[in-house]
Every structure is written in C-alpha cells, then in structure tokens.
Amino acid sequence: ISIGLFSVLNKKTDVTKNIDSVDTVTSSGVVIGAEGTGSYTIKQVPLTEGKVTSVAAPDLSRPVTFGQSAVFTPEVVQLLTNKIITLQVDLKKDSTDLKKWIDLGIYQKMIGDYQGAVASWQYVTKVADKDFIASGNLGNMYAYQLKDMVKAEQYYNQAIKNAPTQIYLYFQLAEAFRDVSKDIPRAKAVVERGLVANPGNTELVALRDSLK
C-alpha cells in the first residue's frame, strides 16, 4: 500500500512532521500520508478530554466495502478486511472506545468506504465535545476525497476551536484552500488565525512565507 507511517505520539511527547503528504491522524497520533506538503507539530492530548455524551453508535454490522478506486492485492484486501472486522467486533463489546472508532474510520477511508468513515468519525465528534482528531480527519476527507470544501472548512474549524494549539490543523486547512480551492488569500487568513493563537510559531511563519 502506498502509505507513509510516521512517528507515534505518547502522552509526554510532541512530534514534528516534515513530509510530502496530506494526512489522516490515528487515535495514537500516527500520521498516515497521502499527498501534499507540510511541516508542523502535532501535540498529544487525552482523546476524551471534555464532556462525553451518550449517542447511538453507528451500525457495527456494516459490510466491509471496497470502493472502485481501491486497488489492492488479495493479501492486502484480506489484511484490511480483518482489521476492520476485528475493530467492529471489539467495538460491539465496548462502543465507548473512541480510539478504536477513529482507527475504524481510517481503515474505512483507506478502502474507499467514505460513508463508513464519515459515520465512524462523526460519532466521535458527537460523543466527545473536545475532539479534534476525528474532526480534522473529516475535514481532510471532505477536502480531498469528497471535494466539499464547505464541510471541510466546517470540520477543520471545529477541530481548531477544540485544539487551537494543534498547528497541523491550520496547516491542513490552509493547504486545502491552496491546493483544492486555489484560494491563496483564504489560505493566508487561516495561517494568520494560527499565528494569533500561537504567536511567533516558526512553522506557521514558514508556511505564511511560502504562500504565493
């Protein structure tokens, strides 16, 4: 699979990323690269920080459905299928495990089941009012896979509201405006927002200077 797996975060460390990718972030802070550019830091915070509410979980009997654009070898198909089924089984036992919901959404996105990924990540955003990982992942998918910048901006803004010090969120939203919308002024505005919340951040300053 053409996927880049990068540094895993723990509770005590941050990670600086400098890769050619637009990213989805796993529950444990692993960055999965696709395409684009960026150099930024992801800071680990407790996934369930804030209020957790009770919401009906998505259907965990959802079939493993590969999209038409998902082309894998039979061995990889089996591997990804097993990963998804295992997560579904685990979540049937404990549907409150938000980390597994995030990871389930990542595997669903990987196989091209975007509806499944949306359901998994939206569930996290509904039950954890301080979530930023699932919201950011939804923003990324709406921008690059579903081509809906209105919803992409909505989810990124929610993620930024919940985690204004997470530099990667400003990067991803600014890059989406630059690469998808071809709107440099709006990309610059996102960076300026990031600098207001994180004065003097060298990563954001570098991004601002690169936007032409």
pLDDT digits (tens, 9 = 90+) for 134-167: 999 999 999 999 999 999 999 999 999 999 999 9
Residue 110 pLDDT class (50, 70, 90 cuts):
very high
Q: Is the pLDDT of residue 183 over 70?
A: yes
Find the range with the poorest average confidence among 20-24, 39-43, 122-126, 133-137.
20-24
Looking at residue 47, its pLDDT comes to 60
Q: Tell me phi and psi for residue 64, to 5 degrees.
A: -75, 110
Place of tokens 């998808």: 180
| Residue 90 CA to its chain's centroid (Å) | 22
pLDDT of residue 69: 84
Q: Which residue has the higher pLDDT, 29 or 98?
A: 98
Whether 186 has a pLDDT exceeding 50, the answer reads: yes
Mean pLDDT for the stretch of residues 28-41: 52
N-term to C-term CA, the chain: 33
pLDDT at 54: 77
**Predicted pLDDT at 180:** 96
pTM of the model: 0.82
Q: What is the mean pLDDT of residues 23-46?
A: 56
Q: Do residues 134 and 105 make contact, with C-beta atoms less than 8 angstroms apart?
A: yes
Amino acid code (one letter) for 131: D
Q: Facing residues of 128 across strands? A: 52
pLDDT tops 50 at residue 83: yes
